[in-house]
Amino acid sequence: MADKGILVVVSGFSGAGKGTLMKRLLEKYDNYALSISATTRAPRPGEEHGREYFFHTKQEFEELILQDALIEYAQYVENYYGTPKAYVEKQLNAGKDVILEIEIQGALKVKEKLPETLLLFVTPPSAEELKRRLVNRGTESMDVIESRLARAAEEAKGMPKYDYILINDEIETCVDTMHKIIQSQHDTVKNRESFIEKITEEIAVFKKGEEV
């Protein structure tokens, strides 16, 4: 049986390159799975249930909330978004490390519910570089870019709550660093579990009144 996977939550500023980073991580290494979110918004052309999102009616989604079937959820512009517990657990039990990309609020909710979750925050090397990347995307007006930068100033306050800060300067280096951090977490979990098992067995001897 494969070792259980680790749940990794990735957050970061808009323009930090989270999407590119995770796409490259999945291309380069084969032990990862991207978590698929559930939503009540309508599918866009070309989107499929179970691929981009799990699409639900509002009633179905609220039933999932009542059943505690979501690790976390939030409501944006009249639509619900959330992380289905069953899908994540299935991937973890299959030995996959599951990557979940959500904002700080959701990330902290996941950590609260599942304390063993690894929290990673992705950032460019400087604020100037963040602005340059947003401008160079050429997809948004300066007003939108300014609002994203203002939001980044608020998001930066949550960075100390993350386990690791990933500086996305050179993509390949950042991908390899991310992979090493996640794999080292496996070693930490294994060492912790084996030590607990060992010391528990040793201490049990005292209960029987025997010598070590």
Q: What are phi and psi of 184, to 5 degrees?
A: -70, -30
Is the pLDDT confidence value at 27 over 50? yes
Reported as a single tens digit per residue, the pLDDT across 62-100 is: 999 999 999 999 888 789 999 999 999 999 999 999 999
Q: What is the mean pLDDT of residues 2-6?
A: 83
Is the pLDDT confidence value at 210 over 60? no
Q: Which pLDDT band holds residue 196 (cuts at 50, 70, 90)?
A: confident
Helix (H, G, I), strand (E, B) or coil at 15: coil
Q: What gap in Å lies between CA 54 and CA 60, rounded to an integer? A: 11
Dig out the tokens for 51 from the structure: 């691929």
Place of tokens 């291309």: 27
Q: Which helix (H) or strand (E) holds 123?
A: strand 118-123
Reported as a single tens digit per residue, the pLDDT across 37-59 is: 999 999 989 999 998 899 999 99
| Domains along the sequence of the chain with CATH | 7-34+97-207 (3.40.50.300)
Task: Output the pLDDT for position 1.
Answer: 46
The string of DSSP letters for 60-108 reads: HHHHHHHTT-EEEEEEETTEEEEEEHHHHHHHHHTTPEEEEE--HHHHH
16 is in an annotated binding site: yes
Query: How many beta carbons lie within 10 A of that of residue 102, not counting itself?
Result: 21
Q: Which helix (H) or strand (E) holds 9?
A: strand 7-12
Q: What gap in Å lies between CA 202 and CA 31, rounded to an integer? A: 35
Task: Output the pLDDT for position 212.
Answer: 47
Q: What are phi and psi of 166, to 5 degrees?
A: -105, 115
Please name which of 166, 164, 144, 162 lies closest in space to residue 20, comparing C-alpha atoms: 166
Q: What gap in Å lies between CA 48 and CA 150, rounded to an integer? A: 34
61 is in an annotated binding site: no
Name 97's bridge partners: 32
17 is in an annotated binding site: yes
14 is in an annotated binding site: yes
5 is in an annotated binding site: no
Reported as a single tens digit per residue, the pLDDT across 111-169 is: 998 999 999 999 999 999 999 999 998 888 899 899 989 989 999 999 999 999 999 99
Q: What gap in Å lies between CA 182 and CA 186, rounded to an integer? A: 7
Tell me the torsion sign for CA atoms 138, 141, 144, 145: positive
Helix (H, G, I), strand (E, B) or coil at 8: strand
The model's pTM is: 0.82
